[in-house]
Structure 1
C-alpha cells in the first residue's frame, strides 16, 4: 500500500470517517488501497451508515440481456451517476463501475431481472429455460453477492411471481417478499382474478423462507417501489376502495393504502398506472393516450396529501405521439424539477417542468431494466449466517 500524508494520518478517526464519506464512490474504492487504516475505516459498518446518508442519486441499468445462440445472456449492471445541482444535471457512466454478469458461471444460460433495490443492495431474480428460479442479493459497489435458499414452490399450475425487497423501519431487517398469482391449471392468459394468491418472505440472515399464506389483494405484478418500510403495488381488483396495496416489512402484513383520486378521460382508449418514488415521496403516474399525470404523496400515508404534481399534455411536443401508448414508470426527481422516467421499459426520458419539454436521455442501447439506485458500502458479510461470494 502507498504511504499516506502524515498530516492526514494523524487526523482523528471521526474526522477521517467524515472526510472519506464525502468523496466520490470510485475514489473511495481506490482509497481502500492507500493504507491499512483507510481500508479499515471504509470497511467499518459505521462508515457504511454515514456514506449511505450522503449517497448520491443515480440509476442502475441492466443492459443487453439478449438471447444469444439459442441461449441467454444475463447482461451487465451499469451504475449511472447523476450529478444533480439546482441549475443543471448530468448523467455519467464510468466503465469501471460496471458489473458484467455474463462472466459469472452461476448466471450462464439464464436471464436476470432486477426486482428491487434498497440502501445500495439489489435483489436479482434468475430464471430461464432450464428450470432456473433463484434469488440473489448483491452489492454492485463491493462486488459481493449471496444466493438465497431455493424457494418453496406453488404446488401446481401457472403463476406469476411478483417480488418486493425492503427493510423494516423498526427491526432494520432486510427482507425479500415474493407472491404467487395464478389460476390453478387454467389458461395463463386469463385476466380474471387469480384463484392462487399466496406469499412467502425471506429475512436476510435467517437461512429460510417462511410462508405468509393467502394474499388478500391482486396486484399488477410490476416492480414495487420501496418507501417508508413498505413495498407498494397497484391493485387490480376493480371493486377495491383503494387502488394501492402495501406490504409492511416490520409486521409482514398486506394492507390497502391510500391512493390518489381516480382520474378518467372519457375519450381516452387507454389508462396505465404505475408507482415510483420522487425525492423520497411515493408517486403515481397515470398514462392516457392524450396526457401523462404525475401524483406525489407529500405526507406518507395521508390520503389528502396526494398532489397532482405534473400534467404532461401530448400537444406539448409532436414526439409524444409515440409515448402515450405504453405505460411510463417514474425513476427520480431532480433538484431543477426535472423528472426521469422509463418508457416501454427500455427508453429513458426526462421531463423539464420549466421548458415543458420531454427529451430522450438514453445512453445505452438496447436497455432492459432501470431503477433509481443509491450506491452504498453495506457489507453482505454483516448477515452472519449467509454465505457471501465475490464477483
Structure 2
C-alpha cells in the first residue's frame, strides 16, 4: 500500500475514520502500517465500535489436526470464512495457526464462545486447564485465573446494559443422582468472571443438570437445554446483567431425543431429532413461549448421504434471509439446507480427516489492553 497523498491527509479525522471502518479486515490491518495517524485511528476504541457495527458475519472453523509425535492432541487452527459469499463459493479469509504458539503446545483446544470479535478458548492438557480470551485480529490474548473444579458447562457473553464481558461456568461438586431436581441442589455451583476484575465470583448453587458444554449466547443471556424430566420448561438461561438463572420458555414439544440450540436471523431456535427427521423450532419473539414456531421439518429421505441426525445431534449455526440454514454436526460436518429445493448440500470443502466445529464470528478491533487488571500478551 502506498503512502497517503496530501488530499487524504487533509481530510477531517471523522471522515478518515468512516472510510477506514468500511474497509476489509486485512486491508485495515495493513493500513496500520501506513502512518502513525492511521495507526492511532485504528487503535482507538471509537473506531473499534464503529467497525464492529459494520462488521459482516463470518464463520469461524476450529479444525482439529490430530496428535503430535508425543501423543498429545494438537491445538489446531482457527479459520474464518465469509458468509456473504455465494453458497457454492466460500473461501477461507484468514487463518490463525494455534500450533505455532508456544502457549498452546501439547494441548487440546475447545472453543467456548465468541462475542464482538473476542473468542474464548478452553485449553485441556494433562498438566493444565486454562481459559483464554483472545482477539485473532489484534493477536492479543489473556489467561483467566486457573479453575479448581471440574467444569460442566460454560458460556462467554456480554451484558446488554452494563456492557461487561463475562464468562459463566458451572462445575460439579458431587456425583449426580438420577432422581428429582431438588435432590441435586448443592451438587452444582456457578461462578462468573468479569473481564477486568481479575477474579472469579461465586453465584451459589444451580439445581439443574445442563446438557452440552458451551451455552448459547443471545440477547444478553446464556442458554442451555435442561436434562430434567421434572422441569416445566426445558431451557435454562443466565442473565449477564442481573447475574441470575431462570427457567426459559421452551418449544411445545416432547419429541426431542437429541436437542441443540442455535440462532436463525437473530432468533433463538432449537433442533430436535426424532424418528429419522430433524425439526427446527424458532422463537419469533424472544422470551415469549407462544411465539415458538415449527420452522422446518427435514426428513431423512431427502439426504440419504447425510443421515447425521440419526447418529448424533445437529446444531444450527446461522440462517440467511432467503431461508437457507447453515448447520453442523458434532462429528465435524458442515452443510446447508435449502428450503426452496428441499435439499441438503455441502457448505465448504475442508479436509475431513479430523473433526472440526464452527460458529458465527464478527471480526473486530477491540483491544484486550482496554481491560484493567488483566495481563495481556500477543501471539
When normalised by structure 1's length, the TM-score is 0.90
1:258 aligned to 2:249?
Answer: yes
1:105 is aligned to 102
Partner Cα separation in structure 1 for residue 281 and residue 44 of structure 2: 39
Partner Cα separation in structure 1 for residue 357 and residue 59 of structure 2: 10
Aligned mate of 1:330, from 296, 300, 316? 316
Aligned mate of 1:368, from 347, 352, 356? 356
Local SS of the residue matching 1:293: strand
1:321 aligned to 2:318?
Answer: no
Change (3 A) 1:2 1:175: same
Q: Which runs of 5+ in 2 are unaligned?
A: none
* Count of residues in correspondence between the two structures: 372
Partner Cα separation in structure 1 for residue 372 and residue 366 of structure 2: 13
1:283 is aligned to 269
1:355 is aligned to 341
Partner Cα separation in structure 2 for residue 11 and residue 313 of structure 1: 58
1:61 is aligned to 61
Task: Compute the displacement of 1:182 (Å).
Answer: 6.0
Task: Compute the displacement of 1:282 (Å).
Answer: 1.1
Task: Compute the displacement of 1:105 (Å).
Answer: 1.3
Change (3 A) 1:322 1:252: closer
Local SS of the residue matching 1:232: strand
Q: Which runs of 5+ in 1 are unaligned?
A: 265-269
Change (3 A) 1:138 1:24: same
2:81 is aligned to 80
Change (3 A) 1:117 1:201: same
| Cα contact 2:152–2:213 (8 A) shared by 1 | no
Aligned mate of 2:163, from 172, 182, 186? 172
1:128 is aligned to 125
| Cα contact 1:283–1:296 (8 A) shared by 2 | yes
Partner Cα separation in structure 1 for residue 300 and residue 173 of structure 2: 36
Task: Compute the displacement of 1:263 (Å).
Answer: 4.2
Aligned mate of 1:215, from 206, 210, 231? 206
Task: Compute the displacement of 1:222 (Å).
Answer: 3.0
| Cα contact 2:88–2:347 (8 A) shared by 1 | no
Partner Cα separation in structure 1 for residue 84 and residue 178 of structure 2: 43
1:267 is aligned to none
Partner Cα separation in structure 2 for residue 361 and residue 120 of structure 1: 23
Q: Give CA-to-partner distance per residue, 1:307-329, whole Å, 9 cap, x none.
A: 11111112223224354321101
Task: Compute the displacement of 1:207 (Å).
Answer: 0.6
| Cα contact 2:151–2:169 (8 A) shared by 1 | no
CA RMSD of aligned residues (A): 2.0
Partner Cα separation in structure 2 for residue 321 and residue 379 of structure 1: 42
| Cα contact 1:84–1:334 (8 A) shared by 2 | no
